[in-house]
Structure 1
Amino acid sequence: MTRNDIDVIVVGGGVVGNCVAGFLAEAGKGVMLIDEGKGGGSTANAGSLHVQMQSRFMQLYPQNVPGMQRQLPLYPKAVRFWQALEKKLGADFEIKKNGGLMVAETEEQLAFLHTKAAQERLLGLEVDILDRADLDRMAPYLGPAVIGAEICFDEGKLNPLQCNAAIHRWLISLGVVLREGEAVKTLKREASGFRVETARGAVFRSGMLVLATAAGTAPLAGQLGIHIPARAEPLHMNITEATAPMIGHLVQHADRMITLKQFATGQIVIGGGWPADIVGDRNHPTVRLDSLIANATLARHIAPQIAPLRIIRTWAGVNTSVDGKGVLGPVSSVEGLHFAIPGDAGYTLGPLSADMVANMVLGRDPGEDMTDYTPMRFA
């Protein structure tokens, strides 16, 4: 492919940008993918397939709850899309849809889960409330402090390292031009499309541009006169040494920041939103000791059997938050410009969001009413 063969430039090489590029290339478009190569959301994801509304986001961003509720029906669809993508690529994503538990330690927390579950049922989710006897049968690894839980049957987990590698191989097989480790410096709208200059001084042009740049969207969109209030939220994660199968569900908490899941390797990933820092010239997400200690202590409290396990690695990633909903689709004021930013729990929504945006780029039906996700709502 030469520079004259580029129909679409996709900026951002996370799971969303990669999938947008792949779907467009499958449709016969000449695609270039430009990615700065900095650790972000997809490369640091802990592998949760979220479906139910996360109490953490509801507490941190109560103003976003209506947006979360509006987008909620996309989450079970997104999990099914992951399963279909795994089959399509002939890969093993280690997807396990064993259900997700959001646990409660107090009657107040349990009452919150009852209210939340009632709302989610109205929006089409398959959820139920479990008492301690149910949990003793289903999840005996939970400690005595847990008195009940909400179960969402569509939730699960996958291995993001496996997923990212398989998707990358797919892009190569499709002939997508990859400019990796190369940040975009300037974007300009021209009569024939877009001019993209990278930090290395390379200049590329295309008729269409897709920004799948997550928390880095605001400054790039601003160069084209578009306001997208995407913000970075650096988060902390841990992983333990391998142990025998123990935790079969995606575990969360009704009131505290914790997620637990166990990979097929036996390692247990501990996440849930404890803060990290963004530091240095490259704005690199960096771990915090207080988050490591608090995250591991809470994990041991919720699942005491993991107490003897050693933490073998800790790292930080970046979640992107906007207003509880994705920013997906074209900008009416800038012909040829599309955004591809999923909502909260963006890795779960990633491939589905990419498919909808790719269809809009191609002039096809995205399969959903995209009115609520339009970038123009911030105009």
Structure 2
Amino acid sequence: MTAIDTLVIGGGITGTVAAIALAKQGARVTVLDAGTNAGSDANAGSLHVQMQSRFMRLYPDQVPNVEASLPFYREAAEEWARLDEQLGGLDLIREGGLMLAESHEQLAFLEAKAARESSKGLSVEILDRSALDAVAPWLGRQIVGAELCKDEGKLNPLIANAKLQALAKQLGVERHTACVRRIEVQTDGIEAITSKGVFRADQSVLAAAWGSGDLVAPFGITIPSKAEPLHMNITEAGAPAIHHLVQHAERSITLKQFGSGQIVIGGGWPAKSRGKVNPPSVQSFSLLGNVALAAKLVPGITGLRIIRTWAGMNTTTDGASVVGRLPQSERIVMAIPGDAGYTLGPLVGRMAAEIAHGQTPTMDIERFSPDRFAA
């Protein structure tokens, strides 16, 4: 087998970008991916920057970490813009994200949230109904206002994943479908014991998302990476032209339209886990509730047919990314995005590659160090 400088464990968006960045530096890189339940393969393409109300309701203890990370989210959206230019187009549109309010109480919540986000450098403003009519006339009449985050956007993850994997292959990155059972650190490198044999390398970038915590547990560190099964839908192509990422102040939803005209509807409705090996299954109440809410918010899509539904794994930790060398083993570099992992993935992957290459990261990521879990 070809000698390996860096073994990237996890072939989603984070691991693929890390592999590309290392290969561009001349490193011999191999990616190992289990081939199942990768969040990147099931993602709907939202570029989240503002705090999501769904996350704030479900994980209030993690909100301080997300809020402190907002400049990182903004930079992550810029990273996607750079990739869009480098790769020749990813169906990326950044006209902002609208978080909708259907009552004055909800709008007051958004006003308070926007003030916090503005203090972290985000470009946000509150729009009343008349201002909304100018930018989103397709919204239901019950919407009284919205928060507009100009930093947000959307892209087509099928295009992005395919182009990034093609670039990695072009750069000589080897990719194997193999389930990593454990990692062992030797005096002269690391070994990954997998379903396809043993892979040896000088070091590893661990970008296995929700599976990362189990792999580092034997080293005496507890990273609370958890799999969260979520539901998504896509419609046939149709009008209206929705240029924004759409969310809600209280309800779980994301809605966006691809350049193809198809509309992707998701936003955190639950799916049923079937274990780590099998993909999660769709639940009828999520399907019906998700699309009914979408039709209420955007009445113009009511006649469109749902052509596919699916479920995939999101990853949660403590509300912040985990990036840096493992304190118990300098040969392992952690690369777990925080909430909204697809948004953060390329930036986290690049930061991890810089660390693995012995460089100082271009952003201050000290607060994302795995050291915080060492106790």
Q: Equivalent residue for 2:267?
A: 272
Partners in 1 of 2:272 and 2:198 — Cα distance?
A: 33
Partners in 2 of 1:216 and 1:332 — Cα distance?
A: 19
SS in 1 for 2:90: coil
Q: Equivalent residue for 1:12?
A: 10
Q: Is the 8 A contact 2:138 2:240 kept in 1?
A: no
Q: Equivalent residue for 1:32?
A: 30
Flag as ranges the 4+ runs of structure 1 deviating above 6 A: none
Q: Equivalent residue for 2:174?
A: 177
SS in 2 for 1:53: coil
Residue 295 of structure 2 corresponds to residue 300 of structure 1 = yes
Q: Is the 8 A contact 1:15 1:42 kept in 2?
A: yes
Residue 79 of structure 2 corresponds to residue 65 of structure 1 = no
- Which of 220, 225, 229 is equivalent to 2:224? 229
How far the C-alpha of 1:245 sits from its partner, in A, is: 4.2
Partners in 2 of 1:87 and 1:142 — Cα distance?
A: 31
Relative to structure 1, is the Cα distance of residues 322 and 301 closer, same or farther in structure 2, using a 3 angstrom cutoff? same
SS in 1 for 2:330: coil
How far the C-alpha of 1:361 sits from its partner, in A, is: 0.9
- Which of 190, 193, 196 is equivalent to 2:189? 193
Q: Is the 8 A contact 2:13 2:40 kept in 1?
A: yes
Q: Equivalent residue for 2:106?
A: 109
Partners in 1 of 2:181 and 2:314 — Cα distance?
A: 22
Q: Equivalent residue for 1:98?
A: 95
- Number of residue pairs aligned between Structure 1 and Structure 2: 374
Q: Equivalent residue for 2:314?
A: 319
The alignment yields a C-alpha RMSD, in angstroms, of 1.1
Q: Is the 8 A contact 2:37 2:278 kept in 1?
A: no
SS in 1 for 2:32: strand
- Identical positions, percent: 51
- Which of 329, 334, 346 is equivalent to 2:324? 329
Partners in 1 of 2:324 and 2:215 — Cα distance?
A: 16
Q: Is the 8 A contact 1:10 1:33 kept in 2?
A: yes
Partners in 1 of 2:63 and 2:270 — Cα distance?
A: 21
Q: Which amino acid aligns with 1:263?
A: F
Residue 355 of structure 2 corresponds to residue 357 of structure 1 = no
- Which of 137, 141, 165 is equivalent to 2:138? 141
Residue 128 of structure 2 corresponds to residue 131 of structure 1 = yes
Q: Equivalent residue for 1:211?
A: 206
How far the C-alpha of 1:99 sits from its partner, in A, is: 0.8
Instruction: Name the stretch that deviates more: 115-124 or 362-371.
Output: 362-371
Cα displacement string for residues 326-347 of structure 1 (whole angstroms, at most 9, x for unaligned residues)? 0011112212111100111111
- Which of 156, 162, 166 is equivalent to 1:165? 162
Partners in 2 of 1:35 and 1:281 — Cα distance?
A: 13
Partners in 1 of 2:275 and 2:80 — Cα distance?
A: 35
Q: Equivalent residue for 2:84?
A: 86
Q: Which amino acid aligns with 1:203?
A: V
Q: Is the 8 A contact 2:240 2:301 kept in 1?
A: no
Partners in 2 of 1:245 and 1:95 — Cα distance?
A: 18
Partners in 1 of 2:39 and 2:16 — Cα distance?
A: 13
- Which of 318, 330, 345 is equivalent to 2:340? 345
TM-score, with structure 2 as normaliser: 0.97
How far the C-alpha of 1:86 sits from its partner, in A, is: 2.1
Q: Which amino acid aligns with 2:301?
A: I
- Which of 305, 314, 322 is equivalent to 1:310? 305
Alignment gaps of 5+ in structure 2: none
Q: Is the 8 A contact 2:239 2:300 kept in 1?
A: no
Q: Which amino acid aligns with 1:360?
A: I
Partners in 2 of 1:124 and 1:175 — Cα distance?
A: 39
Q: Which amino acid aligns with 1:210?
A: V
Alignment gaps of 5+ in structure 1: none
How far the C-alpha of 1:75 sits from its partner, in A, is: 1.5
Partners in 2 of 1:326 and 1:88 — Cα distance?
A: 25
Partners in 1 of 2:365 and 2:244 — Cα distance?
A: 32
Q: Is the 8 A contact 1:100 1:154 kept in 2?
A: yes
Q: Is the 8 A contact 2:240 2:300 kept in 1?
A: no
Partners in 1 of 2:173 and 2:280 — Cα distance?
A: 28
Relative to structure 1, is the Cα distance of residues 23 and 130 closer, same or farther in structure 2, using a 3 angstrom cutoff? same
- Which of 239, 250, 253 is equivalent to 2:248? 253
TM-score, with structure 1 as normaliser: 0.96
Instruction: Name the stretch that deviates more: 244-253 or 148-157.
Output: 244-253
